[in-house]
């Protein structure tokens, strides 16, 4: 639980892009193909792990071990936060999985109990998670409207920004460029 782990999605995307380019694809087509063909099986495993931690918490609670129940929920929250705060190159679906896990774990806590060190409650944090999820979905809808109409060079720039600065930054750049705020 205390060891960091590395998601190699961005490295795989970059390797696939280079392979497509070596096979004769244009830069834009290679980046598109690499993105569309990128499988993310680890997200199902992460989701299952988080759900198992929530179930473990419930079994501890039923056994009267509130401390272990709380620790299991905290592990699920930490896992959700790890994916809910993506690194550059990680796709938005990873963030959605993380936010969903964090939300599920928070819903299994007393909504009025304190959360964190800033006087926030579990309910306050749950609202923040939902706001993040809504903002992510709204940005994604805007980007989906832009992508079919944008020139090849903007697609290349978007994917490069996604790798270097993260999907949220790349999406915001695209939305600002096409004035959809």
Indicate whether 34 pLDDT > 80.
yes
**Segment 45-50 mean pLDDT:** 93
Element (H, E) at 63: none
Q: Count the residues in the chain.
A: 181
d(CA 129, CA 113): 16
Sign of CA dihedral 170, 17, 82, 55: positive
3-class SS at 124? Answer: helix
d(CA 117, CA 31): 43
Phi and psi at residue 151, to the nearest 5°: -70, 160
With cut-offs at 50, 70 and 90, classify the pLDDT of residue 1.
low
Name the E strands within the chain. Answer: 114-115, 120-121
5-18, pLDDT tens digit by residue? 677 778 888 899 99
Question: Which tokens belong to 111?
Answer: 């909504």
pLDDT at 112: 92
> Judging by DSSP bridges, how do beta strands 120-121 and 114-115 pair with one another?
antiparallel
Question: Which tokens belong to 92?
Answer: 């938005």
d(CA 53, CA 39): 25
d(CA 45, CA 51): 10
66-102, pLDDT tens digit by residue? 999 999 999 999 999 988 887 777 788 889 999 999 9
Cβ 107 vs Cβ 88: under 8 Å: no
pLDDT at 82: 87
Cβ 28 vs Cβ 155: under 8 Å: yes
Question: Which tokens belong to 3?
Answer: 């060891």
């Amino acid at each position: 639980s205390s060891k960091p782990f590395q998601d190699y999605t961005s490295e795989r995307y970059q390797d696939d892009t280079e392979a497509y380019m070596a096979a004769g694809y244009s830069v834009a087509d290679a980046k598109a193909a690499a993105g569309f063909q990128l499988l993310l099986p680890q997200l199902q495993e992460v989701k299952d792990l988080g759900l198992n931690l929530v179930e473990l918490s419930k079994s501890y609670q039923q056994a009267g071990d509130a401390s272990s129940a709380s620790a299991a929920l905290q592990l699920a929250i930490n896992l959700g936060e790890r994916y809910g705060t993506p690194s550059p190159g990680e796709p938005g679906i990873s963030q959605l999985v993380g936010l969903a896990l964090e939300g599920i774990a928070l819903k299994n806590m007393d909504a009025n109990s304190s959360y964190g060190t800033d006087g926030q409650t579990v309910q306050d944090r749950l609202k923040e998670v939902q706001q993040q999820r809504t903002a992510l979905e709204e940005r994604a809808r805007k980007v989906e409207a832009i992508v079919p109409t944008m020139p090849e060079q903007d697609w290349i720039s978007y994917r490069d920004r996604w790798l270097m600065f993260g999907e949220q930054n790349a999406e915001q750049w695209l939305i600002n460029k096409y004035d959809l705020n």
